[in-house]
Every structure is written in structure tokens, then in C-alpha cells.
Amino acid sequence: MSFTTVALPTAAPRRVLAFGAWLKNAAGLLEGDRFVLSPNHGDLGTPEACGALDRSIEQLATQAGGPVDAVAHDLHPDFYSTHLAHRWAARLGVPAYAVQHHHAHIAVVQAEAGLGDVIGLALDGVGLGSDGTSCGGELLRCSATGFERLDHLPPLLLPGGDIAAREPWRMAAAVMTTLGQRDQIEPRFAPVVGEQAARIVATLLGRGLNCSVTTSAGRWFDAAAGVLGLSVRQAEEAEAALALERAATVWLDTHPAPDRPPQADLDLRPLFADLLALPAAAQAQGAARFHIALAQGLVAEARAAATRHGLTHVVLGGGCFFNRLLSQRVTTGLEAAGLQVHRPTALSCGDGGLALGQAWVAAHRRGRST
């Protein structure tokens, strides 16, 4: 197996084994000023991925230069990585630290760049929040040991549960419900997905049945793609978001940015009321408007939070920042306000690099407790 070593500008106070995320899982060992990351094991929904994680942890523990002081894992109690971390904690006689998913995304960059307290924008598909809900569109204030949730994208219902993440039209229907347009779900989507499917989803949303709640930025991207007719069902992860980014990029290459009042907060619902009224021929323009408004809202909220807390560093983390258009516009807006913007450099901004953030937080928590 091929392991990657990352040099860090600041030494961690304790040696930690980290067990990574559920998706694109990779484990790691943090000791001193270096972090060793395992190969990517894939998603932990298969026996093969779980077995690969087992082997990586064994190898990382063997190559540690001294006793491991703690183990770190995701906050979700049901992940295989969480169960494995607790078994290793008992085996080593050390504490196991649960690290919230989006805090870990920001902590990756705190470790890579040697940063103290920061404002964090963590945008991705899903991560369990400290309140037990599904999160993913987060404005945070982070230290090395803890975080405060300052704001988030508006919550959306997931009609049908996890299947909604694979069918963007369902997320579009969820937005329509929040806007009081549930009676328009069938007329809008029945020609595309069939009358029965459209009627069932409208009923689920109306009754709140089998509809968990999320603040995920990924699901807002899906909703935009569904509203604009760019994606109905996804064959691959992030297919809808990529289609949305491509359409927006092409449109902005040949048009000036839409002349509209700037988005001042994270409430995207008024924007979606406008997107729902666009003609089909304007889907690329709608994609551009979505990206611009989201970036403006993120910049406005992060600027205000930085001023309020006396901070000058903003960290971008989570898989949504693979989106170049969003990342560039957020970075440009924040830098124009005199803020220093950071994102992962040696590791992925997605879940593949999450183990470093987990380990960094656990190392400082362990260091504070001894």
C-alpha cells in the first residue's frame, strides 16, 4: 500500500491515529510535525473497504514512533470507522475522540497552514451535526479543540430519505414546498418522472413522511439543477452539481454577471423563487445566478463573522469547494475584504483528507486534558 507523508508547519502536541470519513475513507497517523495518510479505501459500505481500513490502521500503528496517545473518529456513532476506533482505543488503552465532520474539514487546513482560530466555510453533501441532524452548509468559528456553529444554509426536507440525494428533482420539489408551491410539483415534474412518482413525493412533503432534514450545500446544488432541468437523476456522485457548474461557466464566459442586488445572507429561498419562474431556455443563466448568489451570501456572512470575532483568516473546506467557479468567487470576495483565505493544498478538500482534521483536533483535546 502507498502511504502519503505530509509535513506540517507546527508540531501536534500528541500522537493520534485517525480513522477518517465514511465516504472516500482514508486513515492517518499524526505525530509531531508530520502526518501519514493511508491510501483511499473507498466508501465504507463494502466489506472490502472495511478490510482495507483494518489493514491500514494496523500498518499505521506499527510504524508509529512511540505510543499512540489517542484515536479520532467521526461523530456518527454507526460508522464502521467509529466502531473500529473504539476497539483500537480499548486495545491501546487510550481515549477515543469524536470529531464533528465539518469541524474536521476546517481543521485539515488549520493543521496544514499552522493556523489558530479561524472562520470556516464547510460545504459538502452530508455530515452529522452536534445536534444529531444532517448538516453540510456551515459557517463556523473554529479553534484547535472546538467550534461554534454561527450560521448555515436553510434546512431542506429529503423526500424519501437518502434517495433524494440521487434524484435532484426531489430536492427541487422540497424547495417548492418551502416556497408554498407544493401544488405545482405534479404539473412541473410528472412529464419528466411520471405522475405517480411526482404525486408520491408531493404527498410525502405535504405530510412530512419519510422526510429527514438537511442543511447540506450539496442538496441545494441538486435542487438548483433539478429546478433548472439540468439533472433529474444522478448516475454518479455530484453529477448534478457538475452539470450546474458547467452550464454556469459557459454562460459567464460569454455574458456579464447578471445585474441583480447582491445576496446578503445564506437564505437562498428568494433566489429559488426567481429560478422557478425562468423559462427553460434560461437554464444556463439560472445556473450562473445560483453560483453568484451562493458565493455572495457566503462572502457576506463570513466577512461579518470575521469582523464580529476579530479574525482575519477564513478556511474553505468540504467537497463543494472542488467547484472552481464557487471557490474562485468566494476567494475573490473575501480577499477584496482584506481577509486571508485558505483551503487544503497537500490533501483533498473533500472527505479523502478528513483524517488529518480529526487527528489535529483530537491531539489538541488530548494535550489540553493531560
Instruction: Per residue of the chain (370 residues), give pLDDT as tens.
Output: 589 999 999 999 999 999 999 999 999 999 999 999 999 999 999 999 999 999 999 999 999 999 999 999 999 999 999 999 999 999 999 999 999 999 999 999 999 999 999 999 999 999 999 999 999 999 999 999 999 999 999 999 999 988 998 999 999 999 999 999 999 999 999 999 999 999 999 999 999 888 999 999 999 999 999 999 998 898 888 899 999 999 999 999 999 887 788 999 999 999 999 999 999 889 999 999 999 999 999 999 999 999 999 999 999 999 999 999 999 999 999 999 999 999 999 999 999 999 999 999 999 999 887 6
Q: Is there a contact between 222 and 231 (Cβ–Cβ < 8 Å)?
A: yes
Amino acid identity, residue 305? A
| Residue 98, domain extent | 4-116+346-369
Q: How many domains does the chain have?
A: 1
The whole-number pLDDT of residue 1 equals: 59
The whole-number pLDDT of residue 370 equals: 66
Alpha helices in the chain (DSSP H): 47-63, 80-92, 101-113, 168-178, 185-193, 195-207, 217-227, 239-254, 269-276, 283-309, 324-336, 354-369
* Euclidean distance between CA atoms 128 and 117, whole angstroms: 22
In a domain, 25, yes or no: yes
CATH number for the domain harbouring residue 84:
3.30.420.360
Please, what sign has the CA dihedral across residues 12, 90, 49, 171?
A: negative
What predicted TM-score, i.e. pTM, was given to this entire model? 0.95
The whole-number pLDDT of residue 120 equals: 98
In a domain, 13, yes or no: yes
Q: Within 10 A of 162 (CB to CB), how many other CB atoms are there?
A: 9
The whole-number pLDDT of residue 234 equals: 87
Please, what sign has the CA dihedral across residues 356, 239, 212, 288?
A: positive
Q: Is there a contact between 269 and 175 (Cβ–Cβ < 8 Å)?
A: yes
The whole-number pLDDT of residue 172 equals: 96
In a domain, 193, yes or no: no
In a domain, 101, yes or no: yes
Q: Is there a contact between 355 and 5 (Cβ–Cβ < 8 Å)?
A: no
The total number of residues shown for the chain amounts to 370
In a domain, 76, yes or no: yes
* Euclidean distance between CA atoms 33 and 65, whole angstroms: 12
The whole-number pLDDT of residue 225 equals: 96
In a domain, 266, yes or no: no
**DSSP string covering 162-184:** GGGGT-HHHHHHHHHHHTT-GGG
Contacts of 47 (CB under 8 A, 6+ apart): none
